[in-house]
Amino acid sequence: MAIEQAEKALTPSEYITHHLTFNSQPVGDGSFWMLNYDSFIMSVLLGIVVMGLIWWVARSATAGVPSKGQAFVELIFSFVDDQVKNIFHGNRHSFIAPTALTVFLWVLAMNAMDFLPVDVMHHFVYAPLGLEHWRSVPTSDINTTFALALAVWFLMIFFSIKVKGFGGWIHELFYTPFGTKFWVLPLNFLFNLIEYVSKPLSHSLRLFGNMYAGEVIFLLLGMWAATGISGTIFGAILGAGWSIFHILIVALQAFIFMMLTVVYLSMAHESH
């Protein structure tokens, strides 16, 4: 199917639209009740693979001389644990640090799907499986990043109420950051409202924007490669260069997403 399409000489916008269309199927009535099977299946698969691998190593973790696999997992563990330790001052081992590890590894794995060459995957994997549209990168789906950010947002409110009590949380919404004078209370509330709205938006859109842009650049380079022999050569060279640079972005965005998660959850634990 995909091969036929390539032979049909797609227009650039058709090519890009084709690669940026989700495999969206209805699960109920209404426009909301659609499930992006590609995002969902890819992310769940990656979650199972990544956390399963870590679990497989952790299950037989020994306090003695570690195997190479265990040493590698411990390296990641210590990296995440150190970051959390610097930000969060409390019992991090019961929830925040494991959450940070999950976020970091899962987002890293999902971002890394950007390295799969889109056309090769379509021609040799997805099209033979009968999948007309299949996007490999779950984090270039706003639903995925927004789901993560919203989950963190709810955890933030949960921990705020758990630590300060419901009254304490409401009190904080109205009495910080500008003071307790009567006339600044609406201002305080407005400020906190903006903060509560902007946190999940910036959290999710930063990751989404980076991964989406990365994908689009790969698509543009792929398009250039279709224009002729020189386009193929330059497209390949620039594609390789962008891939190498993208390694940094993939890791950095996963790290930033983890750090913001930890920062937001730590802030929820602190009273102002």
Would you tell me which residues interact with another protein (CB under 8 A)? 24, 27-28, 31-36, 39-40, 43-44, 47, 51, 54-55, 58-59, 61-64, 66, 70, 73-74, 77-78, 93-95, 97-99, 101-102, 106, 138, 141-144, 146-148, 150-151
Task: Please state, in angstroms and rounded to a whole number, the distance separating the CA atoms of residues 125 and 240.
Answer: 22
In the complex, minimum distance from the CB of residue 92 to another protein, in angstroms, rounded to a whole number? 10
147 vs 223, which CB is nearer to another protein? 147
CA–CA separation, 130 vs 56, rounded Å?
33
Which run of H or of E encompasses 200? helix 185-225
Which tokens hold the place of 12? 């650039």
- Out of 67, 86, 202, 271, the active site residue is 202
By beta-carbon proximity to another protein, the closer residue of 188 and 204 is 204
Question: What is the rounded distance in angstroms from the CA atom of residue 94 to the CA atom of residue 161?
Answer: 17
Q: Are 113 and 46 in contact (CB under 8 A)?
A: yes
Based on CB atoms, which residue is closest to another protein, 70 or 243? 70
Q: Which has the closest alpha carbon to 27: 40, 14, 17?
A: 40
Active site residue 202: yes
Q: How far apart are CA 48 and CA 43, in angstroms?
A: 9
Among residues 36, 204, 210, 266, the one annotated as catalytic is 210
Specify the residue, 3 or 14, whose C-beta has the smaller distance to another protein: 14
**Hey, which residues does 25 pair with through a beta bridge?**
35
Provide, rounded to whole angstroms, the least separation between the CB of residue 220 and another protein. Answer: 18
Q: Least distance (Å) from another protein to the CB of residue 40?
A: 5
To the nearest 10 degrees (0 to 180), the angle between helices 96-112 and 185-225 is: 30
Of the residues 23, 24, 192, 206, which is catalytic? Answer: 206
* Smallest separation, CB 37 to another protein (Å): 9
Residues annotated as catalytic are: 202, 206, 210
